[in-house]
């Protein structure tokens, strides 16, 4: 049924374009855009309604005066285009332009259905549509053109930036440099309000380990453990960033020499770069999962300590992330650190995740290198830990 409707919509658009002609179609498109953009900008500024909806409403309202004078405009253009050849060219151009517009709208809906979470009957029907499938295959949402359109502001964010990187390459998690980096990734265990919280940390400097702030919230000291080459040690929190969800742990002087090698941090974010996520999911054994970098995007977040929202730079990437991966490194195939895992990206259909980019990590590490103990706020409730901020 959806395929029949789509075919009728495209054919109808072509017929309408033939009747109205290219010149009228262009005029209508310009009026629609000129009327829709200010309303979309206003909606984005005040936060409601969705900019896409405001754009459509504004465009339709702008077309009302044109529709009332459409017959007069058409007659005027027919007089202007005196020759039959020009009139036919105008009609053919109108049919082609309107057909392309209808196909573009169909692709936009198909792209949204392919990335939207959930499996409602409507979404399932859209995903099973042969026409929608052909449109998405021709212009993938993760392709260059799809990324530009879907990030244009027409698609509202869910619980974080939209992640549009392609599927990770399984081979990324088995690169020699990634395997070597695993030695420097440790498990972090903290006790706060009589609860044991487990996460992941990694060696970022001499006697310095980085993890998530929510892994150590409500405590001053944590215990680090690793593989057979590291017996473990207690560490003190020396930096705590509740907005970006970063914490720095410092070991006592006598225990620093036991730490595995320091991981190198690089300041780069390249869309599509293959990577890997190393951590201790569900508090179990260490794993390495393939990942692919998407981008860094600003997003309003609520600090762990509560209070007004603040803008944080979110590292968006594709990877399988579970509770316990919190604080683990996102490493490039050469073993260098690109970012820090924070949480699974809920509300997106693909396996996506959010983290902290390396540029913000360097600031926290510099603050924590002073090795002065710092307060870590309140204990987090069970729901705040299990839903992975």
Predicted confidence at residue 387, as pLDDT, reads 47
Give a yes or no: residue 155 inside a domain: no
| pLDDT tens figures, 242-265 | 999 999 999 877 777 678 899 999
Last residue of a domain, one of 150, 185, 208: 150
Predicted confidence at residue 336, as pLDDT, reads 96
Across residues 42-67, what is the average pLDDT? 74
Predicted confidence at residue 388, as pLDDT, reads 46
Q: In the predicted model, is pLDDT for residue 276 greater than 90?
A: yes
Give a yes or no: residue 182 inside a domain: yes
Last residue of a domain, one of 150, 171, 195: 150
Q: In the predicted model, is pLDDT for residue 350 greater than 70?
A: no
Query: 3-state secondary structure string, the chain?
Result: CHHHHHHHHHHHHHHHHHHHHHHHHHHHHHHHHHHHHHHHHHHHHHCCCCHHHHHHHHHHHHHHHHHHCHHHHHHHHHHHCCCHHHHHHHHHHHHHHHHHHHHHHHHHHHHHHHHCCCCCHHHHHHHCCHHHHHHHHHCCCCCHHHHHHHCCCCCCCCCCCCCCCCCCCHHHHHCHHHHHHHHHEEEEEEEECCEEEEEEEEEEECCEEEECHHHHCCCCEEEEECCCCCCCEEEEEEEEECCCCEEEEEECHHHHHHCCCCCCECCCCCCCCEEEEEECHHHCCCEEEEEEEEEEEEEEECCCCCCCCEEEEEEEEEECCCCCCCCCEEEECCCCEEEEEEEECCCCCCCEEEEEEHHHHHHHHHHHCCCCCCCCCCCCCHHHHHCCC
Last residue of a domain, one of 94, 126, 150: 150
Answer yes or no: do 76 and 95 share one domain. yes
| pLDDT tens figures, 134-150 | 877 777 766 655 555 55
Give a yes or no: residue 227 inside a domain: yes
pLDDT higher for 70 or 256? 256
Predicted confidence at residue 85, as pLDDT, reads 75
Single pTM value for the model? 0.67
Answer yes or no: do 173 and 31 share one domain. no
Averaged pLDDT of the chain? 81
| pLDDT tens figures, 88-144 | 787 788 888 888 878 877 777 777 776 665 566 776 777 778 877 787 777 776 665
Most confident listed range (299-308, 323-332, 338-347, 348-357): 323-332
For the chain, percent of residues with pLDDT exceeding 70: 81
Predicted confidence at residue 150, as pLDDT, reads 57
Across residues 272-278, what is the average pLDDT? 95
Answer yes or no: do 383 and 250 share one domain. yes
């Amino acid at each position: 049924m959806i395929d029949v409707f789509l075919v009728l919509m495209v054919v109808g658009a072509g017929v309408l374009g033939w009747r109205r002609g290219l010149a009228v179609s262009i005029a209508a498109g310009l009026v629609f855009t000129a009327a829709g953009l200010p309303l979309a900008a206003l909606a984005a500024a005040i936060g409601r309604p969705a900019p896409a909806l405001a754009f459509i409403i504004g465009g339709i309202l702008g077309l009302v005066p044109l529709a009332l004078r459409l017959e007069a405009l058409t007659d005027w253009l027919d007089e202007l285009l005196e020759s039959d050849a020009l009139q036919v060219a105008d009609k053919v151009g109108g049919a082609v332009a309107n057909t392309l517009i209808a196909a573009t709208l169909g692709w936009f809906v198909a792209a949204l259905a392919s990335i939207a979470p959930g499996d409602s009957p409507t979404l399932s029907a859209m995903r099973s549509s042969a026409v929608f499938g052909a449109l998405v295959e021709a212009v993938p949402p993760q392709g260059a053109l799809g990324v530009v359109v879907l990030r244009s502001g027409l698609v509202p964010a869910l619980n974080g930036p939209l992640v549009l990187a392609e599927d990770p390459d399984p081979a990324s998690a088995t690169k020699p440099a990634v395997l070597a980096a695993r030695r420097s990734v440790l498990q972090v265990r903290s006790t706060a309000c009589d609860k044991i919280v487990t996460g992941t940390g990694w060696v970022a400097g001499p006697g310095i380990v980085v993890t998530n702030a929510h892994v150590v919230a409500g405590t001053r000291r944590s215990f680090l453990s690793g593989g057979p080459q590291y017996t473990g040690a207690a560490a003190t929190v020396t930096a705590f960033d509740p907005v970006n969800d970063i914490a720095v742990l410092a070991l006592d002087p006598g225990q620093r020499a036991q730490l595995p090698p320091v991981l190198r941090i690089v300041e780069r974010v390249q869309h599509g770069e293959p990577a890997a996520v190393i951590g201790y999911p569900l508090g179990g054994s260490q794993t390495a999962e393939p990942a692919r970098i998407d981008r860094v995007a600003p997003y309003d977040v609520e600090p762990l300590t509560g209070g007004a929202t603040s803008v944080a730079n979110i590292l968006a990437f594709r990877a399988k992330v579970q509770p316990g991966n919190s604080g683990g490194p996102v490493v490039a195939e050469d073993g260098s650190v690109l970012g820090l895992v924070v949480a699974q990206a809920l509300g997106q259909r693909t396996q996506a995740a959010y983290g902290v980019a390396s540029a913000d990590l360097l600031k926290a590490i510099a603050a924590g290198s002073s090795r002065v103990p710092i307060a870590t706020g309140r204990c987090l409730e069970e729901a705040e830990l299990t839903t992975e901020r």
